[in-house]
Structure 1
Amino acid sequence: MQVAAETRVLAVLDRLTKAWDRGDAEAYGREFCADASYVTFVGTVYRGRDDLVAGHAALFGKFLKDTRMFSELVELHVHGERTAVVVTRGEVGKKRPARLAKVQTLTLVLEDDGEWRVASFQNTKHHRLMEAVQFWMLPASVPRG
């Protein structure tokens, strides 16, 4: 059961990437729950699918026009039969950057229609210098995993 769930969750991530790469806000939004919460790396909060579709339609038409999504899976955990948490490193741009400088956390749920969708999304800019200072000043804060 868990392997099947992981495969279906990874398919959602693949569809998100393909929709982004096409600049297709509607297809991008279909991968989210109707009441999804979406937090961008600048702190913008979109509430619900309609809100994030409208916001991304505007972004794909201007600031994010012709960009592609680049990401790498960090971890995927399925909890029970209906919830999964995914952490990725990623970036968007016209070409793949040397370093994927953002970290995303996605919580997916298996909805009553049998489809996995993103219930919440959080995108955070990774600040390597600040992290290095923290680890230097407080070595006990270095992740063990």
Structure 2
Amino acid sequence: MSTKIREEITRLMQRMTDTWNAGDAAGYAALFTPDADYITFFGLHLKGRQAIEETHRALFRTPIKLDESDTEPSVRLLSDDVALVITAGASSVDGVPDPARDSVITLTAVRAEEGWRFASFQNTRVGRP
């Protein structure tokens, strides 16, 4: 995979964190394709950019913020225009890290006219079997 593609996807992921922490529901949703599939950690399946924006508008009123992960995301190019991204998710509430919210996030990034966007998002809480 080219360094340029990895950098573009890494910037997209950084914008995801930045828009979340800014409470920018429209900006957050714009990082996804219009028909994206977005599955939350509790199994809610959002279909499309509009549903992502509407749901996150309410969520962003809470004190939950995304924390920077110490783990570098795995980015694997599946074709010239599709990449599988697996990353760690961590968050804090009122500035206090909340390990109970740690998760593994799987995304599908696709190259679109406006640049790379996420076509799918799956958030799974880390737990013990």
TM-score normalised by length of structure 2: 0.88
Question: Following superposition of structure 1 onto structure 2, how do residues 67-86 of structure 1 map, counting pairs within 5 Å?
Answer: 67-70=64-67, 71=69, 72-86=71-85
Aligned-partner Cα distance in 2 for 1:67–1:77: 29
* Separation in 2, partners of 1:2, 1:114: 19
Q: Does 1:110 align with 2:111?
A: yes
Paired residue for 1:32?
32
Q: Once superposed, what is the RMSD of the aligned Cα atoms?
A: 1.7
Measured after TM superposition, the shift of residue 97 of structure 1 is: 3.6
Cα distance, 1:114 vs structure 2: 4.4
Counterpart for residue 47 of structure 2:
47
Q: Which consecutive residues of structure 2, in runs of 5 or more, have no partner in the other structure? A: none
Give the percent of matched residue pairs that are identical in Structure 1 and Structure 2: 32
Aligned length: 125
Structure 1 or 2: more helix by fraction? 1
CA shift for structure 1 position 48 = 0.1
**Structure 1: segments with no counterpart, 5+ residues:** 131-145
Aligned residues of 1:68 and 1:93 also touching (Cα < 8 A): yes
TM-score (norm 1): 0.79
Counterpart Cα distance in 2 of 1:32 and 1:121: 9
For the 8 Å contact 1:89–1:100, the answer to whether it is kept is: no
Instruction: Please say which structure displays the higher CA radius of gyration.
Output: 1
> After superposition, where does 1:127-142 map in structure 2 within 5 Å?
127-128=127-128, 130=129
Q: Which has the higher strand share?
A: 2
Distance in 2 separating the partners of 1:114 and 1:102: 29
